[in-house]
Amino acid sequence: MIRRVLLIAVLAGLAAGMVETLVQLTRTTPLILSAESYESVGGAVAQAWAPEAGFERSAYLALASIVTATGFGMLLSAAFALHGGPVGLGRGVVWGLAGFAVFWLAPAIGLPPELPGAKAAPLLDRQFWYLGTVLATGIGLAILVFGAGWLPRIAGAALIAAPHIVGAPHPVAVGGNAPPEMAAMFVVASLLAAVALWVVLGGVGGYLYDRFAKVAYSGSGVTTRHTG
């Protein structure tokens, strides 16, 4: 079971990471480069190290996307196994969209993606709020989907809403070096990249899960095929 979960995560993470990389290279990276040019105006201090523009930067971007997608793929394939039953391509996409809602959409409502040079609250405050939002959204969504009765569903909805009622940490002054319209474009581009990652991750992961752990029913009984 563990070997199967890991294999699904690696294969689905590779596919999802490559797709996300393509979206980022065509959508988000040009905006980041433009924002960095605004950030450098006025003699801003350069970073100690950064990948060179071109192939090196693209390679690091692809590596980061694949590693991140593989990590999320492990969580997703483990959820498939815990839930039990067939998944397939279609249900896998639905699971992927749920992961997108938990790990990206809900946190982005309070803390949208930011371009370099944007003013932001202290990093630790944002990290704590992000983690709390992910946990609350994940548990609340699970209660809404799998819970029975109105009271659990009300509790699930309340959990999802709680981080946004508390509010995300924000700086005293908002804005940044880049124009506001560029920041808005970056949010949309990041949304596209995240949706692409999670749809591919869920779809490929669900398809592979059924391929690697498929139960075939026949008149003579049940045959289970495993890869590991």
Distance between CA atoms of residues 137 and 145, nearest Å: 12
Residue 21 near residue 27 (C-beta atoms within 8 A): no
Predicted pLDDT at 209: 92
Strand partners, 226: 213
E strand residue ranges, 114-212: none
Q: What are phi and psi of 223, to 5 degrees?
A: -120, 125
Domain ranges of the chain: 2-120+170-226
Strand partners, 213: 226
Q: Which amino acid is at 130?
A: Y
Predicted pLDDT at 223: 46
Helix (H, G, I), strand (E, B) or coil at 49: coil
Instruction: Count Cβ atoms below 10 Å from residue 92 Cβ, excluding itself.
Output: 26
Predicted pLDDT at 194: 97
Distance between CA atoms of residues 135 and 144, nearest Å: 14
| pLDDT mean values, one per 10 residues, the chain (228 residues) | 86 96 94 80 52 83 95 94 89 96 97 89 95 97 91 94 95 80 93 97 95 52 44
Predicted pLDDT at 227: 41
Predicted pLDDT at 139: 96
For 109, residues 6+ apart whose C-beta sits below 8 A from its C-beta are 164
Distance between CA atoms of residues 116 and 96, nearest Å: 28
pLDDT in tens, 32-58: 988 888 765 544 444 556 677 778 889
Predicted pLDDT at 119: 86
CA distances from 220 to 1, 121, 124, 205 (A): 25, 64, 59, 30
Distance between CA atoms of residues 157 and 96, nearest Å: 20
Distance between CA atoms of residues 35 and 215, nearest Å: 52
pTM: 0.85
- What does DSSP assign to residue 147? -
